[in-house]
Structure 1
């Protein structure tokens, strides 16, 4: 984890040094998550959550920018079938590293990797009428990797809107929990924010 954070810091410093005369902009964003998991699982439904955090937009050229972010993100999934109901809440500290291409004035196309650090994990519900509320953090991997794809529109005043999909690449569960099965995060985000 320390190596990952060191790499991010070095990349951030390197890009900052290459930034053009246009000013670096700081901002904040928040919005809604439409969460699920994908992979070797069946019967899961979307769970709505939220995200909130900060960002820095670093211009590289007139059309390109680099935007690292630090976001708290409430994710997870839910299941309702055959007498079993559960809501699984996964809280992450996500670090998206977005490359942005401004295709037109104010309109950007975005893509980049994301590292997520698991903060907490809880599953609650009923199994054949018996309630349960379990901390399942020890069943999940502490770090999650994914790719983000999205688009955004920014007004001259600094207000912006974004839509983004996070495609999870790594199995979120420990191997001894689900064996050879693989389950990844799948999150669609709608955000509103402001840049200074």
Structure 2
């Protein structure tokens, strides 16, 4: 009898589930505050957060009013700053100067979203980033790429955060990116650490 009830419940689920399931899409834009996790022994570095922009598009599939999956295609500018850093390299004066590392990514998050009836939601999932461009500024000068070591083309990160979706389609997201991959291919540590906030709009398809 229990088997019949279970089978009947599964059949009902497949019959009525498509009645709710729907797609939505939209765009967003926002700000980042980023730095990196320095390797062991780097705790004494005078690191500052680097501000940047994020923006792009997303598609969301709603399984029911409370659970959905969301895929995004975002541009994000990450990086970090060091105050009064001495860069020991040929042809560079060994005097303290500020160093600014900028890392430009194409990011693809895939997030599970758990939404409360109030519009508040929790978000969790993986994010993969593809490095588009990087830049090292030491003092007032932009330095050549070889000073940054071997380029790390891909960045893997778990992402988690919270958001709010209004009935009119406006949304606000606040997330934290916890990088697992060093931004330098030949150096351990230096994983991205980024807070980012986005304001967007979505519509049903």
When normalised by structure 2's length, the TM-score is 0.78
In structure 2, the partner of 1:7 is none
1:80 CA displacement: 1.1
For structure 2, list consecutive stretches of 5 or more residues without a partner in the other structure: 1-16, 86-95
Change (3 A) 1:183 1:194: same
1:97 CA displacement: 0.4
Deviation readout 1:17-75 (Å, 9 max, x if unpaired): x8763421010001000010113143221000010100011012221000000000011
Larger Rg: 2
Alignment of 1:66-85 (within 5 A): 66-82=69-85, 83-85=96-98
1:182 CA displacement: 1.3
In structure 1, the partner of 2:64 is 61
CA distance in 2, matches of 1:103, 1:62: 8
The aligned length equals: 172
CA distance in 1, matches of 2:151, 2:191: 11
For structure 1, list consecutive stretches of 5 or more residues without a partner in the other structure: 1-17
In structure 2, the partner of 1:141 is 152
Alignment of 1:30-45 (within 5 A): 30-40=29-39, 41=42, 42-45=45-48
The answer to whether 1:168 aligns with 2:175 is no
The Cα RMSD (Å) is 1.9
When normalised by structure 1's length, the TM-score is 0.81
CA distance in 1, matches of 2:141, 2:28: 36
